[in-house]
């Protein structure tokens, strides 16, 4: 009888179990310790991150839905360079034409992937667009007292790392199926789409409705698929911001390498928007060397907690780990080179 | 693999309900102005855009008839999407306070995050010709000055004005608003600077924001007042007194008159902008 009872309990995916546990823990924290000033401060920061990111993520989802409905695979591929490396060079700089933040870029990248854009180009777009764009350039220059070389250095370094990461990942994972998750590999599973709306939806209604309404449905499905990762990432980032005193970072500034590593870790943990992170980096001017501040600005838009979680809707876990290591290593090497090879005083 | 949901409930119905909850919350925060406790006011245009897109999602969800049934993972996702709404209502009307100030202050010389900002904006560090005596007898208290008819009215400035252009306000009579943090609270911080912890003083602070509270930076001044003992953490005050930089290059308002604000400034934060908005020029 007992065995039968156990077998009758439905199995739950590991990811869903994690989400349920996260939900239960979060509710416990918010309700049980609600009046505590620490929790109030946490709730304010958490809400702020989500409130700021939400419009951009909705916009990104809408752009993805419009691409899905109005841009055919053939039309997209016919307008892109044929050679992958050329496409990577273009994709990493797309932020200049269409400046998007890291919250908006994932749904768009998912749709581009579904339309047949090569994976190295999609990775270059994912990493490059939030960093290599005019808004980030201007905000960086302003944050560093209108120091244009700092802004240019950031954009150029970000572009080169995005291109290199795209090409390396393409070389490491020549087989597309070993890199991306099934849901993202849309055209293989469903010739027209690949969203999570379900087969019934596609069979009965996908092509029978108004195009704009279809775009909204796809956008909504994309948003639901990715928004949970934004919330979880924002939650963890707010926890870091609330609990860890920034003064404690001063203990790690004994050597440039440790300062760079600490600021890289901080960039991953804080999840600050790429348009604002230069101001936070500059506020560390009298605590950290410039190279450490630069590491913070370079890594944050490419790799942070919420981005890694959102990548799980696109790439396999092993590929995400490899991409994270690849990006972090390149940022570390680039910034160490800057620190040890460029004479001090040049960057202000 | 999925647990059987109650019959009849469709996945899209649940998410449409969540969209409606988000839409109502966002609209109420936009209309009431409460969003300004979380993001900079000019970002309201993005929130209006979000409301329009959410409305489109709601309409498409209501018209949807062919969606699949609800599964356990949908319930988990839906619950996670509702979490920020709970946090928003919890934090309603509660801007960042002294706890966040202590956690976000960077250097050992509290409240020198403000000085970091000043130098970042490339304002030359002010070198006062004479170090102000925080408790000197040569200068009459500001309270007494205000009672005299021939004294100029204090310049109404923000903490950002003072820290961006300290040399312009050096020795001037100013009035500034901010949140208070008592020295006892401040002293709990192991890295605080003992020199800043003068008896009869407290910290007046506000947060500077670029985009949202996640990137907020603390700006603080030391206020020297005989009524320092009466201030309470996280209450808002207007402080009137002489401004100067002390030898640690920290902003100090000496011999200050303080008055509690019944309604906090709206919005509660200060905002970074290209070519920040200058305060009134000191006479």
Q: Residues 60..89 of A with a Cβ closer than 8 Å to B: which?
A: 61-62
Chain A residue with CA closest to B54: the answer is A58
Residue A294 in this model has a pLDDT that exceeds 50: yes
| Alpha helices (H) in chain A, listed in sequence order | 2-8, 14-32, 37-70, 73-79, 84-91, 102-114, 119-128, 134-143, 148-172, 186-189, 199-204, 211-243, 256-270, 277-282, 290-299, 305-311, 317-341
Chain A residue with CA closest to B29: the answer is A51
- Higher-confidence position of A189 and B42: B42
Residues on chain B touching A46 (C-beta within 8 angstroms): 84, 87
CB pair distance less than 8 Å for A219 and B61: no
In a domain, A348, yes or no: no
pLDDT per residue as tens digits for the range B91-123: 888 889 888 888 887 654 444 444 333 333 333
State what percent of residues in chain A have pLDDT above 90.
Answer: 25
Q: Pick the residue of B48, B73, B84 with the most A CBs within 10 A to test the interface with A by mutation.
A: B84
Chain A residue with CA closest to B46: the answer is A55
CB pair distance less than 8 Å for B103 and A46: no
Q: How far is A171 from chain B (nearest CA, A)?
A: 35
Q: How far is B71 from chain A (nearest CA, A)?
A: 10
Q: How far is B186 from chain A (nearest CA, A)?
A: 13
pLDDT per residue as tens digits for the range A296-334: 999 999 998 888 988 888 899 999 999 999 999 999 999
B207 bridge partner residues? B218
- Higher-confidence position of B119 and A131: A131
Pair of tokens at residue A292:
């450490």
Taking a C-beta distance cutoff of 8 angstroms, is the pair B103, B185 a contact?
no
Question: Which residues have C-beta within 8 Å of that of residue B263, sequence separation ≥ 6?
Answer: none
Highest mean pLDDT among A173-187, B24-38, B70-84, B266-280: B24-38
CB pair distance less than 8 Å for A47 and B1: no
Residues on chain A touching B37 (C-beta within 8 angstroms): 44
pLDDT attached to residue A237? 82
CA distance B2 to B11: 13
CB pair distance less than 8 Å for A146 and B4: no
pLDDT band at A167 (very low <50, low <70, confident <90, very high): very high
CB pair distance less than 8 Å for A276 and B54: no
Report the residue from B57, B214, B274 with minimal CB separation from A49.
B214
Chain A residue with CA closest to B85: the answer is A47
Q: CA of B263: how far to CAs of A52, A238, B33, in Å?
A: 26, 28, 15
ipTM of the complex: 0.79
**Window from A265-274, A322-331, B178-187 with minimum mean pLDDT:** B178-187
What phi, psi does B202 have (nearest 5°)?
A: -145, 175
Residues of the domain holding A134: 37-341
In a domain, A24, yes or no: no
Q: Residues 117..176 of A with a Cβ closer than 8 Å to B: which?
A: 138-139, 142-146
Count interface pairs A-B at CB distance under 8 A: 242
Chain A residue with CA closest to B25: the answer is A51
Taking a C-beta distance cutoff of 8 angstroms, is the pair A102, A130 a contact?
yes
Residue A202 in this model has a pLDDT that exceeds 60: no
Residues on chain B touching A228 (C-beta within 8 angstroms): 76-77, 80-81
pLDDT attached to residue B109? 43
Query: What's the domain count of chain A?
Result: 1
Pair of tokens at residue A14:
């590991």
How does the average pLDDT of chain B come out, rounded?
76
CA distance A73 to A115: 5
In a domain, A15, yes or no: no
pLDDT attached to residue A154? 94
pLDDT attached to residue A195? 53
Residue B219 in this model has a pLDDT that exceeds 80: yes
Q: Pick the residue of B26, B193, B215 with the most A CBs within 10 A to test the interface with A by mutation.
A: B215
pLDDT attached to residue B125? 35
- 3-state SS, residue A315: strand
CB pair distance less than 8 Å for A52 and B57: no
- 3-state SS, residue A180: strand
CB pair distance less than 8 Å for B3 and A49: no
pLDDT band at A10 (very low <50, low <70, confident <90, very high): low
Residue A211 in this model has a pLDDT that exceeds 60: yes
- Higher-confidence position of A286 and A141: A141
Report the residue from B3, B67, B80 with minimal CB separation from A228.
B80
- Higher-confidence position of B234 and A329: A329
Using the 8-state DSSP alphabet, how is residue A100 labeled?
A: -
- DSSP letters along chain B, please? -PPPPPTT-BHHHHHHHHHHHHHHHHHHHHHHTGGGGTB-GGGHHHHHHHHHHHHHHHHHHHH---PPBP-HHHHHHHHHHHHHHHHHHHTTT----HHHHHHH--SSSTTTHHHHHHHHTTPPPP--SS---TT-SSS--HHHHHHSTTSPPPEEE-HHHHHHSHHHHTT-EEEEEEEEEEHHHHHTSTT--GGG--TTEEEEEEEEESSBGGG-EEEEEEEE-TTGGG--TT-EEEEEEEEEE-TTS-EEEEEEEEEE-SS--SSSSEE--TTPPP-PPP-
CB pair distance less than 8 Å for B191 and A247: yes
CA distance B4 to A7: 15
- Rounded to the nearest angstrom, the gap between the alpha carbon of residue A48 and the centroid of all alpha carbons in its chain is 18
In a domain, A14, yes or no: no
**Window from A159-168, B26-35, B260-269 with minimum mean pLDDT:** B260-269
Pair of tokens at residue A181:
């998750």
Q: Residues 186..225 of B with a Cβ closer than 8 Å to A: which?
A: 189, 191, 210-215, 217
pLDDT attached to residue B209? 87
In a domain, A3, yes or no: no
Q: CA of B159: how far to CAs of B165, B216, B227, B230, B250, in Å?
A: 10, 14, 20, 21, 12
Greatest Cα pair distance, chain A, in angstroms, is 77
Residues on chain B touching A274 (C-beta within 8 angstroms): none
Give the pLDDT mean for A15-44.
85
pLDDT per residue as tens digits for the range B237-274: 999 999 988 877 788 898 889 999 988 888 889 987 64
CA distance A171 to B104: 42
Residue A6 in this model has a pLDDT that exceeds 60: no
Residue A289 in this model has a pLDDT that exceeds 60: yes
B174 bridge partner residues? B155, B241
pLDDT band at A116 (very low <50, low <70, confident <90, very high): confident
In a domain, A202, yes or no: yes
Q: Pick the residue of A7, A13, A19, A51 with the most B CBs within 10 A to test the interface with B by mutation.
A: A51
pLDDT per residue as tens digits for the range B57-68: 999 988 877 667
pLDDT attached to residue A36? 82
Calculate ∠ Cα B272-B274-B275, nearest 5°.
Answer: 100
pLDDT attached to residue A124? 95
- Higher-confidence position of B229 and B15: B15
Report the residue from B39, B88, B102 with minimal CB separation from A52.
B39
- DSSP letters along A111-178, please? HHHHTT--HHHHHHHHHHTTTSSHHHHHHHHHHTTT-HHHHHHHHHHHHHHHHHHHHHHHHH--SGGG
Q: Residues 68..97 of B with a Cβ closer than 8 Å to A: which?
A: 68, 72-73, 76-77, 79-81, 83-84, 86-88, 90-91, 94-97
Taking a C-beta distance cutoff of 8 angstroms, is the pair A99, A132 a contact?
no
Q: Using a CB–CB cutoff of 8 Å, tell me whether A252 touches chain B.
A: no
pLDDT attached to residue B180? 92
Using the 8-state DSSP alphabet, how is residue A343 labeled?
A: P
CA distance A253 to A237: 22
In a domain, A288, yes or no: yes
CB pair distance less than 8 Å for B214 and A37: no
Q: Is the dihedral of CA B232, B236, B238, B244 positive or negative?
A: positive
Pair of tokens at residue A294:
């630069």
pLDDT attached to residue B182? 81
Q: Using a CB–CB cutoff of 8 Å, tell me whether A43 touches chain B.
A: yes
CA distance B24 to B18: 10
Residues on chain B touching A101 (C-beta within 8 angstroms): none
State what percent of residues in chain A have pLDDT above 70.
Answer: 86
Chain A residue with CA closest to B234: the answer is A37
């Amino acid at each position: 009888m007992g065995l039968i009872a156990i077998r009758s309990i439905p199995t739950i995916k590991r990811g869903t179990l994690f989400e349920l546990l996260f939900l239960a823990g979060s509710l416990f924290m918010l309700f049980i310790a609600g009046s505590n000033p620490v929790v109030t401060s946490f709730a304010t920061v958490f809400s702020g991150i989500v409130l700021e990111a939400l419009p951009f993520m909705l916009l990104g989802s809408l752009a993805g839905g419009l691409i899905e409905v109005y841009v055919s695979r053939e039309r997209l591929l016919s307008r892109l360079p044929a050679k992958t490396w050329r496409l990577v060079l273009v994709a990493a700089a797309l932020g200049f034409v269409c400046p998007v933040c890291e919250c908006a870029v994932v749904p768009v990248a998912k749709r581009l992937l579904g339309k047949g854009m090569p994976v190295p180009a999609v990775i270059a777009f994912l990493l490059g667009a939030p960093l290599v764009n005019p808004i980030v350039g201007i905000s960086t220059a302003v944050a560093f007292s209108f120091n244009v070389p700092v802004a240019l250095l950031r954009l150029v370094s970000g572009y080169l790392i995005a291109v290199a990461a795209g090409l390396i990942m393409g070389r490491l994972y020549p087989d597309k199926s070993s890199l991306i998750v099934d849901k993202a590999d849309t055209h293989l599973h469903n010739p027209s789409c690949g969203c999570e709306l379900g087969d019934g939806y596609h069979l009965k209604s996908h092509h029978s409705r108004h195009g704009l309404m279809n775009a909204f449905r796809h956008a909504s499905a994309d948003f639901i698929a990715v928004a949970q990762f934004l919330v979880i990432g924002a939650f963890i980032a707010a926890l870091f911001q609330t609990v860890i005193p920034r003064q404690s970072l001063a203990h790690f500034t004994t050597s440039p390498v440790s300062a760079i590593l600490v600021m890289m870790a901080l960039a991953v943990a804080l999840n600050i928007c790429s348009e604002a992170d230069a101001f936070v980096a500059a506020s560390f001017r009298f605590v950290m060397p410039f190279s450490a501040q630069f590491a913070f600005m370079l890594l944050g838009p490419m790799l942070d907690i919420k981005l890694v979680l959102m990548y799980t809707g696109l790439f396999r876990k092993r590929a995400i780990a490899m991409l994270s290591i690849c990006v972090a290593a390149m940022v570390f090497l680039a910034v160490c080179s800057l620190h040890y090879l460029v004479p001090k005083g040049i960057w202000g | 693999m999925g647990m059987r949901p109650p019959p009849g409930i469709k996945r899209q119905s649940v998410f449409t309900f969540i969209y409606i909850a988000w839409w109502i919350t966002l609209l109420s925060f936009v209309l009431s102005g409460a969003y300004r406790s979380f993001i900079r006011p000019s970002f309201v245009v993005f929130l209006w855009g979000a409301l329009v897109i959410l409305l489109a999602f709601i309409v498409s969800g209501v018209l949807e008839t062919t969606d699949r049934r609800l599964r356990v993972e949908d319930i988990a996702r839906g619950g996670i999407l509702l979490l920020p709404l709970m946090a928003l209502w919890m934090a309603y009307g509660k801007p960042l306070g002294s706890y966040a100030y202590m956690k976000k202050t960077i250097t050992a010389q509290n409240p020198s995050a403000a000085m970091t900002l000043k130098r970042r904006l490339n304002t030359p560090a002010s070198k006062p010709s004479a170090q102000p005596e925080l408790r000197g007898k040569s200068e009459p208290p500001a309270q007494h000055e205000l009672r005299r008819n021939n004294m100029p009215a204090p310049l109404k400035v923000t903490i950002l004005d003072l820290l961006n252009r300290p040399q312009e306000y050096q020795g001037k009579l100013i009035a500034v608003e901010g949140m208070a943090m008592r020295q006892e609270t401040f002293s709990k911080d192991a890295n605080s600077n003992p020199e800043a912890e003068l008896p009869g003083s407290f910290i007046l602070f506000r947060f500077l924001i670029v985009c949202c509270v996640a990137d907020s930076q603390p700006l603080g001044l030391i206020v020297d007042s005989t009524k320092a003992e009466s201030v309470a953490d996280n209450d808002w005050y207007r402080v009137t007194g002489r401004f100067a930089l002390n030898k640690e290059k920290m902003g100090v308002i000496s011999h200050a008159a303080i008055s509690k604000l019944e309604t906090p400034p709206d919005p509660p934060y200060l905002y970074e902008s290209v070519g920040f908005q200058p305060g009134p020029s000191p006479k």
